[in-house]
Amino acid sequence: MSYQVLARKYRPQNFTELVGQEHVTQALVNGLEQGRLHHAFLFTGTRGVGKTTLARIIAKALNCAKGVTGHPCGECEACREIAEGRFVDLVEVDAASRTGVDDTRELLENVQYAPSKGRYKIYLIDEVHMFSNSSFNALLKTLEEPPPHVKFLLATTEPAKLPITVLSRCLQFNLKRLDIDQISQHLATLLQKEGVEFEAPALELLARAADGSMRDALSLLDQALAFGAGRITREDVSLMLGVIEQRHIVDLLDAIIAEDSDRLEQVMQRLFEQSPDYGRVLQDLALLLHEISLQQILAKAPPNALFDRTVVVEFGKQLSPEITQLYYQICIIGHQELTMAPDAKTGFEATVLRLFGFTLPEQNAAAQPAGDQNGTQRVPGVPTSSTPAPPDRQPSPHSGLHSPPTTASSSRATTKNEEPTRQPLTSPGQKNDATSARPGQQRAGDNLPVLATENWGAIFQSLGLKGSARELARHCRIEQVDEPHLKLAVDENYKVMLRDRPRHALIEALQQAYGSHWRIQFSIDTGTQEQAPLEVDTKPTVARSDQGVKDPVIQSVQQDPLVKSLKEQFDAEIIDVQPNRKRG
């Protein structure tokens, strides 16, 4: 006997066997039992959720030998012939292949004749949205007032394409997409009937790949059985679907958060060696970010969590909810753009680099736990740098600065019963050996300059800021120091840089260095002359001087704060693409 695919072998034969559509089957069973029979039913929903199957079950219920019932016997001649697709009074029409008005008229010519064997003549029109406007018009009158022995069962995946005149003449039922639990449990039941060994995680992967469709899940199960030679294992299914292990996804996100370009390159190289489905990799990364967002906002994991809860919790501490949503959006958009990329690998790389480029150093510094000297964040189950954490330093007897915080949260807040220790600042010129344990910040030395108006340049250098926070600090000056209040004045021409993230990053850097009791305020310096930015660039300025003077256009570009930030982060260089233009 020839092999019968699982989707056909296990097609539901009654209402109770239909999975996940109880809201529809209950209404239909009650209507059949009470004799409330509408003349036209419309079933809508995505592919593979049971629209056509449900229509055939209704045909059985209407023509079963034991009478109209919500529980057809499945054994009488009518039930068996309907199940085998040879019942003469069940007319199945594929609207995609019979779109013309002539086809519809030919179909309706036989409506007036009584059924040959059954109680009702059933017209099952699949993908009815494919009918032309003329076909719908030809169908309308009969659909509204058919003979008493005729029932219309319509099915479509796109109900929005149906004319409102058709929708108003039908009793409409919307079939739901099946969730992962419903699909995986049904697959497990079928495999137990088949006597096949399986691993539950493998079924979850198949259910996730089916995307709400039971028919797709059964087709994938057939493929997995062939791939695994009669066994269903997670390893085989992952290889078949192009799914990579979750540790690679975790490593990828961890490298992005840590801004570790070397490690990011290593993780991506490991991915490329497996030749994965890059679209699915981005989907899995988006799933991880979604689980992180649920943890951050609702403090719970989804019912079918793909990733380890401990890892998700730790990532939730390192990222702000806003950045998590930004990363999620980048992944989703990147997945949509894969078809427009030169190839899938290039599109995937571009999306990962976009994630890496949107990483905000000040955001990571605010969320990073102290411990690693080189700023590597520790996530359970994620490989991290083996560099040991620096020992806690104690302030010198003459130091008025706090000792470094031992956790990330200790620098931002104190408990209700604790007050930050306040001691006078060191006198001018006095050395101070306190250091900040904030990860990711590189300092020129162990000594911090005294908070004084004339020391802002040295203070700026010692904070080790990056990106937009660094540019903001470059255009600040100390206006007033009155412990615990510190007032910074920002050049009016650069007040646009007083955005939340760079401002908060600069405040935190100062509090980490000089103590969390300091309260930092900002004002706008409205002086008549532009305040000279701090000279912190270590690389020589690149400018064309073929006429003996620097090009003012290039000078203007070089002084732009955004350009300077890009040069610092990406080691960029300004190139004049119009060297022969008129200067001056």
- One DSSP character per residue, 299-350 reads S---TT--S-HHHHHHHHHHS-HHHHHHHHHHHHHHHHGGGGSSSHHHHHHH
**Per-residue pLDDT averaged across 182-202, rounded?**
92
Model confidence at 571: pLDDT above 90: no
User: What order of strands is seen across the sheet that includes strand 476-482?
Assistant: 476-482, 485-491, 519-525
Give the C-alpha separation, 471 to 488, whole Å: 14
Question: Residue 101: pLDDT band by 50, 70, 90 thresholds?
Answer: confident
Boundary residue ending a domain (159, 174, 189): 174
**Per-residue pLDDT averaged across 549-572, rounded?**
68
Quick one: pLDDT at residue 493? 79
Based on the fold, state whether residues 156 and 21 are members of the same structural domain: yes
Per the domain annotation, does 415 fall within a domain?
A: no
CATH number reported for the structural domain that contains residue 517 in this entry = 3.30.300.180
Quick one: pLDDT at residue 241? 84
Give the model confidence (pLDDT) of 49-75 as tens digits: 999 999 999 999 999 998 899 999 989
Quick one: pLDDT at residue 274? 83
Give the C-alpha separation, 239 to 241, whole Å: 6
Query: 92 or 409, which is more confident?
Result: 92
Per the domain annotation, does 203 fall within a domain?
A: yes
Quick one: pLDDT at residue 407? 36
Question: Residue 348: pLDDT band by 50, 70, 90 thresholds?
Answer: very high
Model confidence at 29: pLDDT above 60: yes
Boundary residue ending a domain (241, 258, 286): 241
Based on the fold, state whether residues 555 and 582 are members of the same structural domain: yes
Query: 550 or 238, which is more confident?
Result: 238
**Per-residue pLDDT averaged across 297-312, rounded?**
82
Q: Please report which helix (H) or strand (E) contains residue 525, including its range.
A: strand 519-525
Give the model confidence (pLDDT) of 376-404 as tens digits: 333 333 334 333 333 333 333 333 333 33
Determine which of 325-334, 404-413, 448-457 has the lowest per-residue pLDDT on average: 404-413
Based on the fold, state whether residues 100 and 162 are members of the same structural domain: yes
Question: Residue 23: pLDDT band by 50, 70, 90 thresholds?
Answer: very high
Q: Is residue 51 classed exposed, middle or buried when 0-12, 13-18 and 19+ CB atoms within 10 A define those classes?
A: buried
Model confidence at 326: pLDDT above 80: yes
Reading the block at residue 227, the tokens are 């791939």
Boundary residue ending a domain (334, 367, 400): 367
Model confidence at 461: pLDDT above 70: yes
CATH number reported for the structural domain that contains residue 230 in this entry = 1.10.8.60
Residue 484 sits in which domain range?
A: 447-528
Quick one: pLDDT at residue 437? 67
Based on the fold, state whether residues 20 and 149 are members of the same structural domain: yes
Quick one: pLDDT at residue 548? 43
Quick one: pLDDT at residue 95? 87
Per the domain annotation, does 409 fall within a domain?
A: no
Based on the fold, state whether residues 205 and 311 are members of the same structural domain: no
Based on the fold, state whether residues 291 and 362 are members of the same structural domain: yes
Quick one: pLDDT at residue 484? 87
Based on the fold, state whether residues 11 and 142 are members of the same structural domain: yes
Determine which of 35-49, 226-240, 243-257, 416-430 has the lowest per-residue pLDDT on average: 416-430
Based on the fold, state whether residues 235 and 259 are members of the same structural domain: no
**Per-residue pLDDT averaged across 469-498, rounded?**
86
| DSSP E strand boundaries for 127-174 | 150-156, 171-174
Based on the fold, state whether residues 212 and 261 are members of the same structural domain: no
Reading the block at residue 83, the tokens are 């199940």
Q: How much is the mean pLDDT over the chain? A: 78
Model confidence at 208: pLDDT above 80: yes
CATH number reported for the structural domain that contains residue 318 in this entry = 1.20.272.10
Question: Residue 540: pLDDT band by 50, 70, 90 thresholds?
Answer: very low
Q: Please report which helix (H) or strand (E) contains residue 92, including its range.
A: strand 90-94
Give the contacts of 409 (CB within 8 A, at least 6 positions apart).
Answer: none
Q: Which residue, among 155, 145, 142, has the nearest Cα to 110 in the 3D structure?
A: 142
Per the domain annotation, does 430 fall within a domain?
A: no
**Per-residue pLDDT averaged across 251-275, rounded?**
88
Model confidence at 421: pLDDT above 70: no
Q: Which residue is it, tokens 């408990």? A: 415
Quick one: pLDDT at residue 81? 92
Model confidence at 43: pLDDT above 80: yes
* CB distance 67 to 95 below 8 Å: no
Q: How does strand 476-482 pair with strand 150-156? A: unpaired
Q: Which residue, among 14, 9, 36, has the nearest Cα to 25 in the 3D structure?
A: 14
Model confidence at 575: pLDDT above 90: no
Model confidence at 253: pLDDT above 60: yes
Quick one: pLDDT at residue 242? 75
- For residue 85, give the DSSP letter: T
CATH number reported for the structural domain that contains residue 135 in this entry = 3.40.50.300
**Per-residue pLDDT averaged across 439-451, rounded?**
56
Quick one: pLDDT at residue 320? 86
Question: Residue 235: pLDDT band by 50, 70, 90 thresholds?
Answer: confident
Based on the fold, state whether residues 155 and 209 are members of the same structural domain: no
Quick one: pLDDT at residue 391? 38
Model confidence at 89: pLDDT above 80: yes
Give the model confidence (pLDDT) of 117-176 as tens digits: 889 999 999 999 998 888 888 888 888 889 999 999 999 999 999 999 999 999 999 999
Quick one: pLDDT at residue 566? 72
Based on the fold, state whether residues 22 and 168 are members of the same structural domain: yes
Quick one: pLDDT at residue 66? 87
**Per-residue pLDDT averaged across 569-580, rounded?**
64
* Number of independent structural domains in the chain: 5
Based on the fold, state whether residues 14 and 155 are members of the same structural domain: yes
Reading the block at residue 146, the tokens are 């058919």
Determine which of 164-173, 233-242, 414-423 has the lowest per-residue pLDDT on average: 414-423
